């Protein structure tokens, strides 16, 4: 299934549904598997409630959530950012009867093998849930306080009939909540949503401000209050219209080796201990769908989502670093390992200042190992432009900045130590002032008149070139 999915994704093909996936050689599942819902940037944008042209406006909205422009009163703020009111004021609608609880299996009736969880790569340790929305709350949080919930997407390994392994890294919200329960030596309630609506899934992946709930933000994207229902066996509210929900508890200290699994780097990561979840209930619709994907060397769905999130993040980045003109995170570089940033350069040393600001601004940039800074006349999405800037505006002895012992993705095998590595910044901008002691060359450009003449000639005399 992963091979078929990958081939269709690379061809920018449609969403796929496998009606009767094989659990093993003799048993087929009655739960269809759906993949590739985020196989194109247009479908990712649709999941956010906009088209591709609307991403810039949504990015400005996200920037306003982080640092709203001082308004002339609340009325002015809400008129300029109508979604702001929805995101901050939306409250979930609590219901008693929910589609996701049409069928409920509790305690001894729990059997995770009923869910057709894929084993994606030949070297994987076993079945891996790849699109879970994991809902947790802090120890002191109330069960009905959805604004205090964390909804995150983590890797979840199926261990046996009623146990899962939660792979959340220490800096993620789920891990922070788990520490708050473990401090009091109590097990933590967890709900894993399989087949959440696209807005909820993407909201769980977005780097939202801490004061904005992923669940209420998803409601704002959908234009309606999120419908929630009390879980059957844990003190949490869960999305009423999801396909499947796994409920359970994570003990304070119990762990199991998770992995190895194929990861977004294109390599298998080694097995590491992570917390174990004991599943106390499985609830689902009458005829549920299981939503899945794979992670691997790009392209994959997370990389395509990363392209869209790159556009969404640009207004927030510009609000903090105004001289940034554009920014590109090449998908082939695992979405965030390399960044190319174009800046409106005005003073010596500015490129280095921008690079250091990026590394310290958002958590995801702390894992960016290489930043290339270019001028605004360079298209940061064009490798030929980047290569020309590196070849003509960068001197290795002057324009390369190296940092040691900085945070790095735990799965980066190139790191000398797990979670700790170096970073490199390359200044491929035009050198000005005290940055150089020699005259800088003048860039060649075709005159506007000659360019217009050539365009007219091609249009009239050589129309086949247009084709």
Give the pLDDT band (50/70/90) at residue 2.
Answer: very high
User: Residue 394's domain is classified under what CATH number?
Assistant: 3.40.1670.10
Same domain, 278 and 331: no
User: Last residue of some domain: 242, 273, 291?
Assistant: 291
**194 DSSP β-pair partners:** 132, 244
Q: Are 197 and 239 in contact (CB under 8 A)?
A: yes
**pLDDT at residue 45 above 80?**
yes
Answer yes or no: is 442 within a domain.
no
Answer yes or no: is 22 within a domain.
no
Same domain, 183 and 229: yes
Please tell me the predicted confidence (pLDDT) of residue 150.
92
* Region 365-374 average pLDDT: 93
pTM of the model: 0.87
Give the pLDDT band (50/70/90) at residue 232.
Answer: very high
Please tell me the predicted confidence (pLDDT) of residue 216.
81
* Domain that includes residue 384, residue range: 301-435
Please tell me the predicted confidence (pLDDT) of residue 410.
74
Same domain, 91 and 218: yes
Between residues 407 and 15, the one the model is more confident about: 15
* Region 96-105 average pLDDT: 96
Three-state SS at 166: strand
The per-residue pLDDT for range 233-275, each reduced to its tens digit, is 999 999 999 999 999 999 999 999 999 999 988 999 889 999 9
Same domain, 352 and 425: yes
Q: How many domains does the chain have?
A: 2
Please tell me the predicted confidence (pLDDT) of residue 80.
55
* Region 447-465 average pLDDT: 84
Give the pLDDT band (50/70/90) at residue 297.
Answer: very high
Same domain, 287 and 157: yes
The per-residue pLDDT for range 51-79, each reduced to its tens digit, is 999 898 888 888 877 665 555 555 555 56
Same domain, 187 and 327: no
Weakest-pLDDT range from 9-13, 350-354, 400-404, 435-439:
435-439
Answer yes or no: is 25 within a domain.
no
Please tell me the predicted confidence (pLDDT) of residue 20.
93
Same domain, 146 and 281: yes
Answer yes or no: is 362 within a domain.
yes
User: Residue 181's domain is classified under what CATH number?
Assistant: 2.30.110.10
User: Last residue of some domain: 271, 291, 311?
Assistant: 291
**pLDDT at residue 173 above 80?**
yes
Between residues 79 and 187, the one the model is more confident about: 187
* Region 143-162 average pLDDT: 93
Highest average pLDDT, of 8-12, 50-54, 211-215, 438-442, comes from 8-12
Same domain, 339 and 284: no
Answer yes or no: is 200 within a domain.
yes
* Region 18-44 average pLDDT: 93
Looking at the annotation, which residues are catalytic? 263
**93 DSSP β-pair partners:** 227
Instruction: State both tokens at 428.
Output: 């491929």
Same domain, 426 and 323: yes
**pLDDT at residue 466 above 70?**
no
Same domain, 287 and 322: no
Weakest-pLDDT range from 152-166, 178-192, 356-370, 451-465:
451-465
Which residue, 154, 111, 367, 131, is CA-closest to 259? 154
Which residue, 58, 89, 215, is CA-closest to 152? 215
Instruction: State both tokens at 143.
Output: 């069960």
Answer yes or no: is 296 within a domain.
no
**pLDDT at residue 211 above 80?**
no
Highest average pLDDT, of 78-82, 299-303, 402-406, 426-430, comes from 426-430
Whole-number percent of the chain with pLDDT over 70: 93
Segment 143-148 long-range contacts (CB within 8 Å, at least 24 positions apart): 143/230, 143/235, 143/236, 143/237, 144/94, 144/237, 146/91, 146/92, 146/213, 146/215, 146/216, 146/226, 146/228, 146/237, 147/213, 147/216, 148/213
Same domain, 86 and 226: yes
**pLDDT at residue 362 above 90?**
no
Please tell me the predicted confidence (pLDDT) of residue 373.
98
Same domain, 307 and 418: yes
Please tell me the predicted confidence (pLDDT) of residue 191.
98
Answer yes or no: is 324 within a domain.
yes
Answer yes or no: is 27 within a domain.
no
Q: Are 200 and 107 in contact (CB under 8 A)?
A: no
């Amino acid at each position: 299934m992963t091979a078929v999915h990958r081939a269709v994704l690379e061809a920018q093909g449609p969403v796929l549904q496998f009606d009767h996936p094989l659990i093993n050689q003799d048993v087929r599942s009655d739960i269809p598997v759906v993949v590739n819902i985020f196989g194109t940037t247009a479908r990712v944008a649709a999941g956010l409630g906009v088209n591709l042209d609307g991403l810039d406006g949504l990015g400005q909205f996200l920037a306003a959530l982080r640092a709203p422009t001082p308004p002339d009163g609340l009325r002015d703020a809400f008129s300029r950012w109508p979604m702001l009111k929805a995101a901050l004021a939306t409250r979930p609608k609590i219901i008693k009867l929910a589609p996701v609880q049409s069928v409920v299996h509790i305690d001894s009736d729990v059997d995770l093998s009923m869910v057709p969880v894929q084993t994606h790569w030949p070297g994987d340790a076993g079945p891996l849930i790849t699109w879970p929305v994991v809902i947790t709350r802090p120890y002191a949080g109330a069960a009905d306080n959805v604004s205090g919930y964390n909804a995150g997407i983590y890797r979840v390994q199926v261990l046996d009939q009623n146990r899962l392994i939660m792979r959340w890294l220490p800096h993620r919200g789920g891990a922070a909540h788990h520490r708050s329960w473990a401090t009091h030596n109590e097990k933590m309630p967890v709900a894993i949503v399989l087949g959440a609506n696209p807005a909820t899934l993407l909201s769980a992946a977005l780097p939202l401000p801490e004061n904005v709930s992923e669940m209420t933000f998803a409601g704002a994207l959908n234009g309606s209050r999120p419908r929630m229902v009390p879980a059957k066996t844990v003190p949490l509210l869960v999305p009423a219209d999801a396909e499947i929900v796994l409920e359970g508890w994570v003990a304070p200290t119990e762990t199991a080796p998770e992995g190895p699994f194929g990861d977004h780097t294109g390599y298998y990561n080694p097995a590491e201990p992570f917390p174990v979840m004991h599943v106390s209930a499985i609830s689902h619709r009458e005829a549920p769908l299981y939503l899945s994907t794979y992670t691997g060397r790009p392209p994959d769905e997370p990389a395509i989502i990363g392209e869209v999130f790159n556009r969404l993040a640009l207004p927030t980045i510009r609000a903090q670093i105004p001289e940034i003109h554009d920014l590109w995170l090449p998908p082939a570089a695992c979405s965030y390992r390399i960044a190319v940033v174009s800046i409106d350069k005005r003073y010596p040393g500015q490129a280095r200042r921008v690079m250091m600001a990026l590394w310290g601004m958002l958590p995801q940039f702390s894992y960016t190992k290489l930043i290339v800074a270019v001028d605004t006349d360079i298209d940061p999405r064009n490798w030929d432009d980047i290569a020309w800037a590196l070849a003509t505006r960068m001197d290795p002895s002057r324009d390369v900045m190296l940092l040691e012992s900085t945070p790095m993705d735990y799965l980066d095998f190139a790191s000398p130590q797990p979670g700790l590595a170096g970073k490199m910044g390359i200044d491929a901008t035009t050198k000005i002032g005290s940055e150089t002691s020699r005259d800088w060359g003048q860039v060649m450009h075709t005159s506007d008149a000659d360019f217009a003449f050539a365009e007219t000639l091609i249009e009239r005399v050589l129309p086949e070139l247009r084709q």
